[in-house]
Amino acid sequence: MKSVLIIGLGRFGRHIASKLNELNHQVMAVDINEERVDAVLPYVTNAQIGDSTNEDFLSSLGIGNFDICIVAIGDNFQNSLETASLLKELGAKTVIARAATDVQEKFLLRNGADEVVYPEKQLANWTAIRCTSQHILDYIELDGEYSIFELATPETWVGKTILQVDIRRKFDINILGIREEGRLHMHISPDTVLPANSSLLVVGHPKSVQWCFHI
């Protein structure tokens, strides 16, 4: 269980709070807008109404006690930048901040943020990859080289073992798991038989995955 501070409770911040609550983490939520704070109360351990650009207010929260501080402010980049910088000055262990442009991402990384999330860009990438083929069920970019794909198991592979399809040797693609009837099975071996009506969780270079799965 981690202790997480979320600053900024628009749609993005509320979704993060809800998911963290579902994962049983302790969440402190902060926003200058009382209505937004009230809306997130069912999902958080504690909540405060306040200005995150005010050093005294932030200091009163005990920033050093949180494992992660998330700056989810989406409507005022100056406030987001000041908040990320203050958090780091006050001893935040890890600061994750939201960006809306490449320029914002660069400024945040230079001024206190340890990591930056770029929801619009990341969702656009996901949509572009996802819509290129009906066989792609999900997609996660790991870095510039490798990505994780969930793809429908090719009909010609059904009934064969992972060793028989041998995509690791042929395409440098690893099968991480098999989803069957809604359940993901990660305990697999070279002798695991690929079932019908299933999907595969694989990791590899996107171009290799395209060649292998003909997408």
Q: Which of 83, 96, 89 is nearest to 12 (CA)?
A: 96
- What is the reported pLDDT for 130? 67
Q: Which of 149, 187, 139, 188 is nearest to 165 (CA)?
A: 188
Q: Which of 19, 21, 7 is nearest to 92 (CA)?
A: 7
3-class SS of residue 183: strand
Average pLDDT, the chain: 91
d(CA 58, CA 33): 16
- What is the reported pLDDT for 146? 87
| 3 Cβ contact partners less than 8 Å away, ≥ 6 residues apart | 25, 26, 28, 65, 66, 67, 68
The residue type found at 203 is V
**pLDDT per position as a tens digit, 93-125:** 999 999 988 899 999 999 999 999 887 767 776
What Rg value do the Cα atoms of the chain yield, rounded? 21
**Full-model pTM:** 0.69
Measured CA distances, 191 to 26, 79, 161, 204, 207 (Å): 42, 55, 5, 21, 26
**pLDDT per position as a tens digit, 68-96:** 999 999 889 999 999 999 999 999 999 99
Q: Evaluate whether 80 touches 97 at the Cβ level (below 8 Å).
A: yes
Sign (positive/negative) of CA torsion 21, 23, 24, 30?
A: negative
